[in-house]
Every structure is written in structure tokens, then in C-alpha cells.
């Protein structure tokens, strides 16, 4: 029987999946929001982005201490590909919120985060704000195909390889 992830790893995985989806959807809603609602949507988006950033640290630590996301029976080339894919995901989960934070702190106006309060403009540098905001958006949109490949690889392992990869991340039916 394949090793399973710890409850902490499973919780972090799915919490981050929901947070990333919510942040992305809110990011899309900001562009479509009426003028009066933009500030609230931006604050919610930024708060969820900070949650993603905060969850990356325990997620990386849990990953380093826990079982790998792939079975020992997987060929070396697939393990390297899975390792690279996860590395790209972790890089994006760090870079996207950091760039968003840089965009907020270098922008033209403060952003109010629900619960936490207002994040002031610390370094009003127009070119840096623009570059960070653009990179934030590009990387957030790059995350979609990367996550799609992640999900497709998991489904392939479940349906074709039947090697227990999906079973490691499903919280139901755990012994």
C-alpha cells in the first residue's frame, strides 16, 4: 500500500488550492468590478494572496519532511518531471504574492485588507509598481496551465498508471 501524506500535508494542499482559486477569481473580478467595489475586491484579493504566501512556508516544510508526491516505483524521468513541476508550482506560489505585495507597496494609493487594515504605499515608484503588477498578472495567468498539467498528471496516474498518487491526497477513506 502506498504511503499517504500526513493530514497536515493534505490540509495545506487543499487549503492552498482553494485560496489560489479564490485569489485568481477575485483578481479577474477586480477588472470587471464597478468603481466603488474595486477597493474591496482588491483588499480581499490581497488578503488571500498573503494567506497563500503564509501557507507556502509550512507547505514546503511539510513537503521536505514528508513522503514525496510520487511513488517509489515511478521511473526516474517521471520523478524528475514531477519534481520540476512541483518546483515551478512552489516558485509561482511564492513569486505571485510577493510581486502583488511589491505592487501594493509601490503603487499610487494604499490598499485596505479586510481584518488586517491598510497597507500603505511605502515606496511610490511608478515603474516598479507597473513592472510588479504586470509580472504578477502574467505569472498568475501562467499558473493556470501549470495547474492544469498538475491535475492532468494526477488523473493520468490515477486512471492509467493506477499507482496511488491521487489516493495520497484524498482526505476521505483514510485508515
Residues 114-142: pLDDT tens digits? 999 999 999 999 999 999 999 999 999 99
How far is residue 157 from each of residues 61, 130, 137, 161, 165, measured CA to CA in Å?
A: 25, 41, 31, 5, 6
Neighbour tally for 7: CB within 10 Å: 10
Does 26 have pLDDT greater than 90? Answer: yes
**Using an 8 Å Cβ cutoff, are 143 and 96 in contact?**
yes
Question: Residue range 36-53: average pLDDT?
Answer: 93
Amino acid at each position: 500500500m502506498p504511503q499517504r501524506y500526513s493530514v497536515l500535508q493534505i490540509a495545506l494542499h487543499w487549503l492552498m488550492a482553494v485560496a489560489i482559486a479564490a485569489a485568481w477569481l477575485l483578481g479577474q473580478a477586480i477588472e470587471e468590478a464597478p468603481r466603488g467595489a474595486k477597493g474591496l475586491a482588491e483588499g480581499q484579493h490581497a488578503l488571500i494572496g498573503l494567506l497563500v504566501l503564509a501557507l507556502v512556508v509550512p507547505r514546503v516544510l511539510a513537503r521536505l519532511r514528508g513522503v514525496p508526491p510520487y511513488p517509489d516505483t515511478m521511473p526516474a524521468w517521471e520523478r524528475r518531471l514531477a519534481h520540476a513541476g512541483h518546483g515551478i508550482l512552489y516558485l509561482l506560489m511564492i513569486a505571485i504574492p510577493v510581486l502583488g505585495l511589491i505592487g501594493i507597496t509601490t503603487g499610487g494609493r494604499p490598499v485596505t485588507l479586510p481584518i488586517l487594515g491598510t497597507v500603505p504605499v511605502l515606496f511610490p515608484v511608478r515603474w516598479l509598481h507597473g513592472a510588479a503588477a504586470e509580472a504578477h498578472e502574467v505569472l498568475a495567468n501562467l499558473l493556470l496551465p501549470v495547474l492544469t498539467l498538475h491535475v492532468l498528471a494526477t488523473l493520468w496516474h490515477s486512471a492509467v498508471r493506477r499507482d496511488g498518487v491521487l489516493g495520497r491526497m484524498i482526505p476521505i477513506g483514510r485508515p
